[in-house]
A and B are shown apart, each in its own frame.
Chain A
Amino acid sequence: MQGEVTARRAGLVACHVCHLLCRMPRQGPREHAVCPRCGSALHRRKVDSINRTWALLIAAAICYIPANLFPMTVVYALGQSQADTIMSGVIYFLQTGMWPIGLVIFVASVFVPMMKLAILCFLLISVQRRSRWRPLDRTRLYRLTELVGRWSMVDVYVVTLLVAMIKLGVLASIEAGPAAPFFAAVVVLTIFAAESFDPRLIWDNLEDDHVKS
């Protein structure tokens, strides 16, 4: 691994926002360095990355339980009401033959959030255990979670649109169920969690090993 120098080892730091490469100045405990180009605070790694990501991830996992158990929508029609959870909505689509829509909802609201929670959990544990296992593939997993996470919002938008469109007063109406805010919270928290994780930590473990040997 000749000639592989990271910014940290060279005493440099890349700005998180504008990616300008700066020399990290010596600083006292109370001051913090600022990027000369865009004015954001400079840090070698994202601040407190592992703790913050864990906190957001655990919060998301807790919200994920009521999001799946409570109904997402409640339909009132002709004096009757029918509550639908995320899974019962998917099953309804499959049974009525609209499987492409069922698949979209399943992937966006069940598969993607589960996958995000699992991948971020795995990445955090592997970084904390100083794993050197396949850093390239782990970076790819991280990129995937960043890319795909926002699409989970689909179900929140579907509920909003249903509520807006079906408001025929006495005949029929749809209300958002108690699961909707929990589900939205899961999506928002996992997006923040993915943002607060620093993929450079994956590679730092290789680096430290290198220095020792």
Chain B
Amino acid sequence: MHVIACHECDLLNRVPHLPARGVACCARCGGVLLRPKPDSIDRSLALVCAGLILYVAANSFPFLGLKSGSLVNETTLATGVRLLYDQGLRGLAALVAITCLVVPAVELITLLYVLLPLKLNRVAWQAPRLFRLLGHLKSWSMLDVFTLGILVTLVKLGHMVEIVPGISVWAFGGLIVVLAALSAALDRHEVWERLGALTCKAR
């Protein structure tokens, strides 16, 4: 039994011990207070490793090819960013690079850095600060939105030119699934509790 303040309406709620896959909601506004996930840290670690491999694969091979006559024009994820930059749209290029390349990578690496020592009952140097950063980055990881963008583009161009999917399309598809599974498996509350308990012990 512990007390949690709802972060949407500030009401203090008494929350009993929850079974696995249980959800605690605020009594007044219905906001989710607590949603414990089974084997959160183990599962998240496994998904982070898979995600890192897929991320590297998705960014090192050609993504989509465009066939016109005998000419195949291949692009990777970074090409679009570079071309926008060359056109003078630097802010836009930076925005796309941050939301689709930088933030997902930072997310995966930080999670690995925080969770792996936690699994071994240690706290990595500056782990709370980095995990805090991760909370701020949450809404800026937009690979899922980018996927919808790809679908729209394919339909838009599909009837004009022939499009050849590259190897990294498959890696990219896998990465989207893994990232979605990761956000479902990660229990931030549990990570904070364990970080808190371990840093208190160290003091």
Contacts and interface: CB of A to CB of B under 8 A. Distances in A.
Interface of A: 4-8, 10, 12-14, 16-21, 37-40, 98, 101, 104-105, 108, 135-136, 139, 142-143, 146, 149-151, 153-158, 160-168, 171, 175-176, 180-181, 184, 188, 191, 195, 199-200, 202-204
Contacts of B11: 4-7, 203
Contacts of A161: 64, 80, 149-150, 153
Interface of B: 3-5, 7-12, 28-31, 64, 66, 68, 71, 73, 75, 79-81, 83-84, 87, 89, 91-92, 95-96, 99-100, 128-129, 131-132, 135-136, 139, 142, 145-146, 148-150, 152-153, 155-157, 163, 188-189, 192, 195-196, 199
Given A5-B11, A165-B66, A156 B189 contact: no
B148 A163 contact: no
A162 B156 contact: yes
Contacts of B12: 5-7, 10, 12
Nearest to B77: A164
11 contacts: A18-B132, A40-B132, A105-B152, A151-B148, A161-B150, A163-B84, A165-B75, A167-B73, A168-B68, A200-B8, A203-B28
A17 B130 CA distance: 12
B192 A166 contact: no
Given A17-B135, A176-B92, A38 B145 contact: no
A154 B83 contact: no
B84 A160 contact: yes
A101 B80 contact: no
A153 B91 CA distance: 14
A195 B137 CA distance: 12
B155 A101 contact: yes
Contacts of A166: 66, 157
B139 A150 contact: yes
Contact of A157 (B4, B149, B188): B149
Contacts of B146: 153, 157
Overall SS of chain A's interface:
helix
9 cross-chain pairs, A with B, having the tightest CB-CB distances, nearest first: A157-B149, A164-B80, A14-B5, A7-B5, A203-B9, A160-B80, A6-B10, A161-B153, A18-B192
Given A163-B87, A168-B73, A176-B89, A14 B152 contact: no
Given A6-B12, A157-B145, A164-B75, 7 more contacts: A6-B5, A18-B196, A39-B129, A139-B31, A153-B149, A156-B96, A184-B92
Contact of B7 (A5, A16, A155, A180): A16
Contacts of B9: 6, 135, 139, 199-200, 202-203
A152 to B, nearest CB: 8
A108 B147 CA distance: 14
A38 B128 contact: yes
Contact of A165 (B139, B153, B192, B195): B153
B4 to A, nearest CB: 7
Nearest to A93: B156
A6 B64 CA distance: 53
Contacts of A101: 152, 155-156
B139 A195 contact: yes
B145 A153 contact: yes
Nearest to B197: A37
Given A164-B83, A181-B91, A191-B139, A19 B96 contact: no
Contacts of A171: 68
Given A162-B156, A165-B75, A12 B29 contact: no
A16 to B, nearest CB: 7
